[in-house]
Chain A
Amino acid sequence: MHEAIKVSNVSKVFSRGYLRKSHKLVLSGIDLKITEGDRLVIVGESGMGKTTLARIMADLEWPTEGQVLWFGQDIGRMSKKEKRLLRGSVQYVHQDPYSSLHPAKTIFNIVADPLRYAHGLKSKDLRKRVKELMEMVGLTPAEYFFNKYPHHLSGGGRQRLAIARALTTEPRVIIADEPISMIDMSLRASIIKLFKDLNDQYNIAVVLVLHDIGAAKYFTYEKGEVAILYGGKIVEKGEGTKVLDNPLHPYTRVLINSSPVADPELARNRQVEQLRSYAVPIRTPDSKGCPFAHACNYYIEKCLERDPQLVPVEQNHEIACHVFCNRDGVI
C-alpha cells in the first residue's frame, strides 16, 4: 500500500503585527502519514492546532517548515499545473455545513456543477452521476432533493451533501475537520458510519479531526490510527484501539477519563485526575520543553527544558514523554 499523504517535520508559525513582532507556534515537528485506504483520526481540543494541521494536509495552508507529500510528491514544490491535476485526489469537508454550501444553489447544482465543469458531464449522464453520489451518501430518494435548497436539509443532511460534493472529483483521500460537531447527537454516529462505509467500499483514505473521543473510538475500533495533539505537538499516536484502550501519555489519559459516559453510576464513581492548568499553552518558536509540562502532574525538570520526541512503546504505539517513556520503553 502506498502512502497517500505524508507530513514530515511540519511546523507552522503565525506572525502578527506590522513589523512581524509576535510569533505564535501553532504546530511543531509533526510527523504523520496515512496509507491509501486507511483511517486516521487527529484528536485535539480547540486551540491545539488540529484545524491548522488538517488544512495543511489539504493544501489549504502552507507549513512554515517541513514537507507535505501527496502520493509521494512534495506539494510545496509542484507547479500550479501539477497541483491542479492532483487537487481532485485530496478533498476537504468543512466543519460548518451551514456555510460550506452555497445558499442560493439548488442541491442538484451543488453536486452537478463540479461534474459539469471538471468532468464535462452533460444531461443524462450528469443526472445519473448526481443521483449515484447522493445515494452513496444516503440522501435518498435523490430526485426528491434535486430542486430543493440547502436550508431545507438538517445539519446532518447538509454534511452529507458536502460529502457528496467532495466525492465528485473521485478523491483518494478525504479530510474532514470536525464534521459532526454542529450536528445533533442522535445523527452523529450515522455521519461517522458514512465515512467508514466510504472507506470500506471505495478504498478512500479518510482523515477526521475530532475532539470527541467516543466518535474517534467508533471510527477506529475496527481499523485505523489515532494521533493525539496537544499544544501543536503529537503527544501520542498509533493504532486506534491501542491508543484509546491503553493510553499512556498523561494528557491522553485525562482526556479519555474526562469523556462523557452514558452511565450515571460510572460517571459519579470515577476519579478524574485534575490537571494543574487547563489553559491552552501559548507557544512561540523560542519555547522550550514539553508543551504539556505546565499542566502535567508528573513533570520533572527535564520536561521544562527539552521537548520529548515520539518513541515507540509497543508495536504501532508511540508517545512523546520523558516520564512515562524513555528510549527503552515504558517505565
Chain B
Amino acid sequence: MTKESLMNFYLDYIQPLFKNRKSLIGLIILLIYILMATVGAAVIPLDMNSNFAERYQKPSLKHPFGTDYFGVDIFQQIVHGSRAVISLTLLASFLAVLIGTIVGVARGYLEGIAGKIIDVIIMVFLVIPSFPALLILSAIFMDKDLNVLQIALLVAIWLWAPLAKQISAQVLSIKTRDFIEASKILNMPLRYILFNDIVKLLIPYIFINFVMQIKGAMEFSVGLMFLGLAKFDPTHWGIMLNYALYQAGALYTTQGFHYLFFVILNIVLLIYGGILLSQGIEEIFNPRVRGNE
C-alpha cells in the first residue's frame, strides 16, 4: 500500500464520514462507548457487592445513574457492561464480514454447479428469519458455557448472507472486465487475480458494510442477552434490562424508574449511534459503492 493509495483511501472513504453530519454524530457516539469500554472499564471500579441500604437511590453525584435493586451503582455496571456489548458487537460484525466476503468471492469466482450450490446456501440464510433463528440456536447452546468468540460467531451466522449476495454480484460483474482477462493473458496466478484484481476493488465496499453491520450486530447481541440466552454476565446491559424488568419489578414502582431508564437509554443511544452512522454512510456512498467508478 503506497502512501498515495492510503491517502486516497482516507480522502475517499474516511474524510467524508467526518463531513456528513449524521455519520459524524454516529461516530462520536460510538467513540464515546468504545472509550467507555476500553478506558472507562479500566478506570472505573466495579463494586458488585450488594448494599441494600443504598438500593434504588436516585441519580446523584455519588451515583450518576443511581443504584439498582441491590444497591449496586448503575453507572459502574453500565461502564463495565459496555465492554461486553462492544466487544461482542465488533467481533460479530467482523466475523459476518469475513464469512460474507469469503462466500461472496467464492461464489463470484466459481461458476456452474458449485456456484449454484453456494447460491442456494446464501438464499437459505437470507430467507430464514434471522433473529428467531438466532434465538433458537442460542437456546440450544444455552447451557454450554460459550465464550465471546463463540457467541459472536452465532450472531455472525445470521448477518453474513446479504453481504455475500452483494459481493458475489459485484465479483461476477468485475470478472467480465478486460483487466481481468489481461491478468490471465499475463499468466498471473489465481491468488493474484482474486486478491489484487478483484478483492482490491471490493475493499471500500467491505469496509462500509462492516460499519453498517455494527447496528445489526448490536441489536442482535443486546437482544440475546436480554432474553437471557447467553453467558451470564450481570453487567451486560441486556442482562441488566432483564433484571430491571423481570427481577426487580422496576416497571411497577416509580422508585425503580431510573434503573430502567438508564439501561434503556444507553442501549438506545448506542444503537442509535450505529443507525446514524449507517444512514450517513448510505447518504455518502450509495451510488458510488454500487458503481465503483
Q: Do A and B come from one complex?
A: yes
Please report A residues at the B interface, Cβ cutoff 8 Å: 58, 60, 84, 87-88, 91-92, 94, 96, 99-106, 113-114, 117-118, 147, 162, 165-166, 168-169
One of A101, A113, A147 near B196 (C-beta < 8 A): A113
Interface-side segment among B64-72, B121-129, B130-138, B176-184: B176-184
- B4 proximal to A (CB < 8 A): yes
* Closest B residue by C-beta to A88: B187
Quick check: A94 and B188 within 8 Å, CB to CB? no
Alpha-carbon separation in the docked complex, A328 to B185 (Å)? 44
Residue among A88, A105, A166 with max Cβ neighbours from chain B (10 Å): A105
Q: List residues of chain B with CB within 8 A of the CB of A101.
A: 179, 182
Contact of B186 among A58, A94, A105, A114 (CB under 8 A): A114
Q: Are A94 and B187 in contact (CB under 8 A)?
A: no
Q: Does B201 contact A (CB under 8 A)?
A: yes
Question: Contacts A113-B192, A147-B2, A147-B4; is A99 near B177 (CB within 8 Å)?
Answer: yes
Is B182 touching A105 in the complex (CB atoms < 8 A)? no
Q: State how many angstroms separate the Cβ of A76 from the closest Cβ of chain B.
A: 18
Q: Give the shortest distance, in Å, between A75 (CB) and chain B (any CB).
A: 13
Which A residue sits closest to B200, measured CB to CB? A104
Q: Which residues of B contact A (CB under 8 A)?
A: 2, 4-5, 177-179, 181-182, 185-189, 192, 196-197, 200-201, 292-293
Q: Are B185 and A117 in contact (CB under 8 A)?
A: no
A88 and B177 alpha carbons, distance in the complex (Å): 20
Tell me how many residue pairs across A and B have CB atoms closer than 8 Å.
Answer: 63
- How far apart sit A166 and B292, CA to CA, in the bound complex (Å)? 26
Report 14 cross-chain contacts, Cβ distance below 8 Å, ordered by A residue.
Answer: A92-B182, A99-B178, A99-B179, A101-B182, A102-B196, A102-B200, A103-B293, A104-B200, A104-B201, A105-B196, A113-B196, A117-B187, A118-B186, A166-B186
The CA-CA distance from A166 to B179 in the complex, in Å, is 12
B5: which A residues are within 8 A, CB to CB? 104, 106
Q: Contacts A91-B185, A106-B4, A165-B186 hold; do A117 and B192 have CB atoms under 8 A apart?
A: yes
Besides A99-B179, A100-B178, A103-B292, 14 other CB < 8 A contacts?
A: A58-B185, A84-B187, A87-B187, A91-B185, A92-B182, A92-B185, A94-B181, A94-B182, A102-B196, A104-B5, A104-B200, A113-B196, A114-B188, A147-B2
For B189, the chain A residues whose CB sits under 8 A away are 117
Residue of A nearest to B192 (CB): A117
Contact B178 A96 (CB under 8 A): yes
For the complex, give the distance between the alpha carbons of A265 and B5 in Å.
Answer: 54
Min distance, Cβ B215 to any Cβ of chain A, angstroms: 28
Contact present for B2 and A105 (CB under 8 Å) = no
| Minimum distance in angstroms from B208 CB to a CB of chain A | 15
Q: Which residue of A lies closest to B201 (CB)?
A: A104
- Report whether A100 and B179 are in contact in the complex, using a CB–CB cutoff of 8 Å: yes
Select which of B4, B178, B197 is within 8 A of A94 by beta carbon: B178
**Do residues A117 and B188 form an inter-chain contact, with CB atoms below 8 A?**
yes
Q: Which 9 A-B pairs have the closest CB atoms?
A: A100-B178, A114-B186, A99-B178, A94-B178, A102-B179, A147-B4, A87-B187, A104-B200, A92-B185
Provide the residues of chain A in CB contact with B2, threshold 8 Å: 106, 147
Complex CA gap A169/B185 in Å reads 10
Q: Quick check: A169 and B179 within 8 Å, CB to CB? A: no
Residue from A102, A106, A166 having most chain B Cβ neighbours under 10 A: A102
